[in-house]
Copies of this chain bind each other. A is one copy, B any other.
Amino acid sequence: MKASRTVPQAVLHRLPRYYRYLGDLLEDGVERISSSELGKRMNATASQIRQDFNYFGGFGHQGYGYNVAKLYREIADILGISNPKTAIILGMGRLGTAIVNRITFTKRGFEVIGVFDNDPALIGKKIGTFTVLDVAKLEDFCKEHKPVAAFLTLPREAAADTALKLEALGIRGFWNFSSGYIRLNDPTIPVENMHLGDSLMTLSCRMQEHDIKND
């Protein structure tokens, strides 16, 4: 099943959270859940949950609740998780390593097939199940293995040029941790930015709104 183009972005952005939460329920052996119970656990109203799920054809039965496993599979399809996309990671310093250690990529829609760095101290090193490859071999690797996504955990200075190079090598989706600007020739290519500094400034701003100061 595929989400129709008319699904609002706001709904799509809530799906990862629904998906994670349903995964927890599955692990706990929960087979059915009502929209009101799901809402209560997720700080949403039952009606919002019903509205959101209606965009994907319902999935539920009035007065009977949702089948957790079925809902989980259908959201997985919409998120593209059942169809993992090949990815490479550029930058295997502490952040790249932390990501490899914390995330099960196949549960998030990706299969990482290569990790790269330019630091001789890292090249050849084993990190998790990966061996760090020399970034000098990036072009050959892409031609041979045709990854479609790239995760950038590079220093800021390197991100923009690397992204353009990767676009030329066929990368069609970017997960970017660098605070540098990525400008691609094709502006329709999805780029998801994880700007750590921006998130922290938003927290600062919200605390200031609440007038929270040091003693």
Check B214 against A146 for contact (C-beta < 8 Å).
yes
Check A200 against B192 for contact (C-beta < 8 Å).
yes
* Tally of A interface residues using CB under 8 Å: 64
Contacts of A198 in B (CB 8 A): 16-17, 20
Scoring A residues 124 to 137 as 1 if CB is less than 8 Å from chain B, else 0, what string do you get? Answer: 00000000000000
Check B103 against A94 for contact (C-beta < 8 Å).
no
Scoring A residues 1 to 28 as 1 if CB is less than 8 Å from chain B, else 0, what string do you get? Answer: 0110100000011011101100000000
Most buried by B among A99, A110, A194, A209: A209
Contacts of A210 in B (CB 8 A): 172-173, 188-190
Check A207 against B81 for contact (C-beta < 8 Å).
no
Check B17 against A208 for contact (C-beta < 8 Å).
no
Contacts of A12 in B (CB 8 A): 202, 205
Contacts of A148 in B (CB 8 A): 207, 212-215
Check A204 against B85 for contact (C-beta < 8 Å).
yes
A41 to chain B, nearest CB (A): 8
A93's contact among B81, B98, B205, B207, by CB below 8 Å, is which?
A: B98
Scoring A residues 87 to 127 as 1 if CB is less than 8 Å from chain B, else 0, what string do you get? Answer: 00000011101110111010111100000000000000000
CA distance A102 to B199 in the complex (A): 14
A149's contact among B15, B86, B192, B207, by CB below 8 Å, is which?
A: B207
Scoring A residues 173 to 215 as 1 if CB is less than 8 Å from chain B, else 0, what string do you get? Answer: 1110001000000001110101111111111111111101111
Given contacts A20-B198, A102-B196, 15 further A-B contacts (CB under 8 A): A12-B202, A16-B197, A78-B208, A85-B214, A94-B94, A95-B102, A97-B98, A103-B196, A109-B201, A109-B205, A173-B212, A175-B203, A189-B210, A190-B206, A190-B207
